[in-house]
Structure 1
Amino acid sequence: MKSSALPDTPAHLWQHFSEIAKIPRPSGKEQAVREYIVELAKSRNLDYVIDAAGNLIVYVPASPGYENAQTVAIQNHLDMVAVKTEDKEHNFDTDPIELQVIGRWLTADRTTLGADNGIGVAAALAVLTDTTTVHPRLELVFTVEEETGLYGAQGLDASKLSATRMINLDTEDWGEIFVGCAGGYGYEAVRDFRSEPVDPTLKPYLIKLKGLAGGHSGVQIHEQLGNANKLLAEFLTENSDLIWALAEFKGGVAHNVIARVASVVVYIDPAQEGKWRFRMEQATQRWRTFLPDADNQLAWQFKSVDDASSSVLSASDRDLLLSLVSVLPHGAQTYSFAQPADLVNLSCNLAVVNLQAGELKVQTSLRFFNEHETIGLKNKIESVFKLFGMDVDIVLDYPSWNPDFNSPLVGRTAIISQKITGKPAKLRAIHAGLECGILTSKKPDMDVVSFGPTILGAHSPTERLEIATVEPFWKMLQALLAELAVV
């Protein structure tokens, strides 16, 4: 059953999340949601600072009687991934997220939900406005542009922070406490191809591969979700015996998203249209023998178009581009020895392939725990780009948060978690780029822990928040702050 009504408790948290969902906040455009928080701070006569990178820190006095406790930082990011299904009319720069409750899940109408990291932001604001929450002095840290490369955290002025303990609320598995995260490294490579006139006997067609699940390129990389860039390049390579020329290739949306849609504009012999359709069906049947169930909506769009390019790549350059996409690595590369096999140590995401007007741009990113382990993968990627004549820029470079299973803050959090859940806490590292790595590199004396309610499908239109995990998540945050207020 579908409903737009949010739960009643915890009231302050859900109220703030509802308001945040109304405010457009794609990466790089967080001004409005930041102003919402600033107005809350002003209404309570709280000091705040906005640093040169656009990050916001709100300073909250301790609850009466707890002024002598050490200051604690609560950290979240303001931005969200902006992804929607093709049939959804939505402008992420202007339109609110349309919330809906389906069964036990809160989701959005065919767009990303923004629970990553909006539910953490809402919890931090609930601490600010819910007077029943006991806490020490707080520094509420709201960073920007996390989803595009953790740029806000990288530019954070750490001199504005006095806290030596920090709670990050940007992880997505309730009942698990996170003590480490992956670092990241990313490339953007470009190259110009010489175009040539179109054979007038060929006609333009759009071929689009869609319906894949996509998802988070860190926490879901081990799920072997289909990458639309890789699959479409594979399909086109296998059909080089047909008569066709390539004008455009568009796939993927961002470095931290597994490409769920890719398309090409090709000029083909109309007499071979039937062969193309038959081979698409063959490819679909083959891929479904190994793709996960999440990709079961895999489908093709194949139609003639009028507004196509007047030039195409030569056959040799076409094959060169497809070879590049084919040989660039994608997926989990190594796994942790210390944790179950769903913890990846090293991975790569072939995120974006974009060919327009003869200019090719490719984005690919790495995630890692041990930077030394990246050397071989970096050499491979850089060598491939060099062999294919690409000019390369490094567009991502941020450190990992090395796991500390013996952290005093983690130990206290684990005890509270067991009291609330009735089960021993699971201490884990996560193969995603939390800002904790950057912040601990700026403040090495910072003791950090991360936890959150359950979110599935982050960075995709299937993003959903498990409602039943939100209230215990809030209670755990309250209990931890109350304990830190007296120690």
Structure 2
Amino acid sequence: MTSIRTLAPASLWGFFDTICSIPHPSGHEAALRRWITGWAEEQGLAVRQDDTGNLIIKKPASPGMENRRGVVLQAHLDMVPQANADTRHDFTRDPIRPRIDGDWVYATGTTLGADNGIGMAACLAVLADSRLTHGPLEVLLTVDEESGMTGAFGLQPGWLEGDILLNTDSEQDGDVYMGCAGGVDANITLPYEAETVPAGYQAFQLSITGLRGGHSGINIHEGRASATRLLAELLHAFSKLDKVRLASLEGGTLRNAIAREASALLLVPEAELASLQALLAHYQQQYATEFAGVDDFIRLKLSNAEPPARVMSEAMQQRLVRALLACPHGVMAMSRAMAGVVQTSTNLGVIETRDDHVHVQCLIRSLDDTGRNRVAAMTASAFELAGASVSFDGAYPGWQPDPDSPIMKLVLDTHKDVFGTLPAVRVIHAGLECGLFKRAYPHWDMISFGPTIQGAHSPDERVNIEAVARFWQLLIRVLEQIPARDN
């Protein structure tokens, strides 16, 4: 147990503390699922697991509320596993260590998992509290949202009876969401063309560290630096020097996180070392100016390294570096219909050198399929010209806004009654599961809301304590106000 159990609402924070204590990165939710299943059975609640691994827990209506419309509370079981370079953490074995810092709860050197652990904790707290007033309730906890939306893809019709869905995976207090972007993964593979290391070269490790990173949808418009993008730029600049050779390169860890770190193993002729160092110093100053106030701690470093056994052919190096530099990254279009909303974006998320290939992964997001397909074609063209194979998978639809949504009107009215103000109605440039849910349950009336979470998908992730209390207060009042079923 940690100090967050002293926070209010106590039940929600107690569940979140337990969630933090059970490792649950994407693809490794089984232990947390077992704990929740056992807990629900102890409470006498009906709990089922579908073939995909999603959990569905049912709670009967409060006395006198049996005729209300059925509500599905929804969160996802998994979290994004990201740690600082100086933090040793095995996300499949080690617990998250939450800590209170002023008005916020952080983790210690890692992602916190408030995305979507706070929403999950709220769902469990609703199930646990017999004093709450509500109609028939179901809690849907999906698997593998962060790395592929596997649970949402696998959700089958007929398992759930409610017709209102409250998604808890949004991250701004005072906002209510009625739409989101869809997306697709681009998977790129370029065969490694190896040559022997030429004589008279020294090996150096180029490292790019200190970047903020962040969520590749929510933060993509903020102009944060991407380590993979900077790496491509630096390698292209180095190619202008005489015979600087590339052995391997790495960058980023997740396709849905803006890359915080990247590195490359270089072979440098002694005659070019001073020029390389001068060029690196130039870019260090350039990035300090370019990203001032956004990414203030970018560090470029050149360190001695062990000589590699092989180096890329000059032809492959040139094709790869040019393709990475040409790869689209960042905001590609803004919405014409909704001011300030990103329409289409893409993230150069991961670069890996392994075995006999260089692998690259991007995540393309868009509010519509047209924008998504356009950027996918641009990405494929850049890499296919370099001789790479490109495939796309994991495509999921956006969630189209419904301006006539009854549950949206109810949430807006309830927010004003509770807090005295109307919330902002927004469309989020991130992948919520709601669009996929519509395939199995097209009749669902849906909204998404949650507390303020900043730095999601990075070790800077933090959740605002007061916002959690407000989120809880709004949630339980909305449940009280759900209308009766139509006769």
Query: TM-score normalised by the shorter chain: which range applies?
Result: over 0.9
Q: Compute the displacement of 1:486 (Å).
A: 5.1
- Within a 5 Å distance, the mapping from 1:16-415 to structure 2 comes to 16-240=15-239, 241-270=241-270, 272-291=272-291, 293-306=293-306, 308-341=307-340, 343-415=341-413
Q: Compute the displacement of 1:385 (Å).
A: 2.6
Deviations 1:39-88 (A, max 9, x none): 11110121111111111111111112212222110110010000011011
Q: Does the residue aligned with 2:425 lie in a helix, a strand or coil?
A: strand
Q: Compute the displacement of 1:451 (Å).
A: 0.4
Distance 1:66 1:196 in 2: 73
Distance 1:383 1:321 in 2: 13
Structure 1 window deviating more from structure 2 (77-86 vs 282-291): it is 282-291
The alpha-carbon distance between structure 1 residues 206 and 49, as it changes in their structure 2 partners (threshold 3 A), is: same
Match of 2:426 in 1: 428
The alpha-carbon distance between structure 1 residues 292 and 163, as it changes in their structure 2 partners (threshold 3 A), is: farther
Identity of aligned residues (%): 37
Q: Residue 4 of structure 2 contacts residue 17 of structure 2 at CA under 8 Å; is this kept in 1?
A: no
Match of 1:450 in 2: 448
Q: Residue 61 of structure 1 contacts residue 137 of structure 1 at CA under 8 Å; is this kept in 2?
A: yes
The alpha-carbon distance between structure 1 residues 381 and 5, as it changes in their structure 2 partners (threshold 3 A), is: closer
Distance 1:135 1:276 in 2: 66
| Segments ≥4 residues shifted beyond 6 Å | none
Distance 2:7 2:236 in 1: 54
Distance 1:322 1:301 in 2: 19
Distance 1:468 1:281 in 2: 44
Q: Does the residue aligned with 2:286 lie in a helix, a strand or coil?
A: helix
Distance 2:102 2:242 in 1: 48
Is 1:480–2:478 an aligned residue pair?
Answer: yes
Distance 2:44 2:196 in 1: 66
Distance 2:68 2:4 in 1: 39
Distance 1:338 1:400 in 2: 15
Q: Compute the displacement of 1:327 (Å).
A: 0.3
Distance 2:10 2:403 in 1: 33
Q: Residue 215 of structure 1 contacts residue 457 of structure 1 at CA under 8 Å; is this kept in 2?
A: yes
Q: Compute the displacement of 1:483 (Å).
A: 0.9
Distance 2:480 2:414 in 1: 11
Deviations 1:325-347 (A, max 9, x none): 00010011111233332x10111
Q: Compute the displacement of 1:432 (Å).
A: 0.4
Q: Compute the displacement of 1:386 (Å).
A: 2.2
Q: Residue 249 of structure 1 contacts residue 356 of structure 1 at CA under 8 Å; is this kept in 2?
A: no
Deviations 1:221-273 (A, max 9, x none): 10111111111111121122144211111011111111111101111234544
Q: Residue 173 of structure 2 contacts residue 451 of structure 2 at CA under 8 Å; is this kept in 1?
A: yes
Structure 1 window deviating more from structure 2 (391-400 vs 175-184): it is 391-400
Q: Compute the displacement of 1:485 (Å).
A: 6.3
Q: Residue 76 of structure 1 contacts residue 141 of structure 1 at CA under 8 Å; is this kept in 2?
A: yes
Q: Does the residue aligned with 2:290 lie in a helix, a strand or coil?
A: coil
Q: Does the residue aligned with 1:206 lie in a helix, a strand or coil?
A: strand
Match of 1:418 in 2: 416
| One-letter identity of the residue aligned with 2:388 | M
- The runs of 5 or more residues in structure 2 that have no matched partner are none
Distance 2:273 2:104 in 1: 43
| One-letter identity of the residue aligned with 1:233 | A
Q: Does the residue aligned with 2:225 lie in a helix, a strand or coil?
A: coil
Q: Compute the displacement of 1:6 (Å).
A: 4.5
Distance 2:334 2:188 in 1: 27
Distance 1:235 1:132 in 2: 60
Q: Does the residue aligned with 1:334 lie in a helix, a strand or coil?
A: strand
Q: Compute the displacement of 1:358 (Å).
A: 4.0
Using structure 1 for the length normalisation, give the TM-score: 0.96
Q: Does the residue aligned with 1:265 lie in a helix, a strand or coil?
A: strand
Distance 2:394 2:212 in 1: 25
RMSD: 1.6
Distance 1:214 1:324 in 2: 22
Q: Compute the displacement of 1:357 (Å).
A: 4.3
Deviations 1:187-243 (A, max 9, x none): 101121220000131122211101111110111110111111111111121122144
The alpha-carbon distance between structure 1 residues 455 and 193, as it changes in their structure 2 partners (threshold 3 A), is: same
Q: Residue 175 of structure 1 contacts residue 421 of structure 1 at CA under 8 Å; is this kept in 2?
A: no
The alignment covers a number of residue pairs equal to 483
Q: Compute the displacement of 1:278 (Å).
A: 2.7
| One-letter identity of the residue aligned with 1:321 | L
Distance 1:383 1:301 in 2: 32
Deviations 1:282-307 (A, max 9, x none): 1011122222523111112321122x
Q: Residue 187 of structure 1 contacts residue 396 of structure 1 at CA under 8 Å; is this kept in 2?
A: no
Deviations 1:108-162 (A, max 9, x none): 1111010000000000000011222211111100001100021111011232111
Q: Compute the displacement of 1:375 (Å).
A: 3.2
Q: Residue 313 of structure 1 contacts residue 358 of structure 1 at CA under 8 Å; is this kept in 2?
A: no
Distance 1:390 1:159 in 2: 43
| One-letter identity of the residue aligned with 2:431 | G
| One-letter identity of the residue aligned with 2:91 | F
Q: Residue 83 of structure 1 contacts residue 461 of structure 1 at CA under 8 Å; is this kept in 2?
A: yes
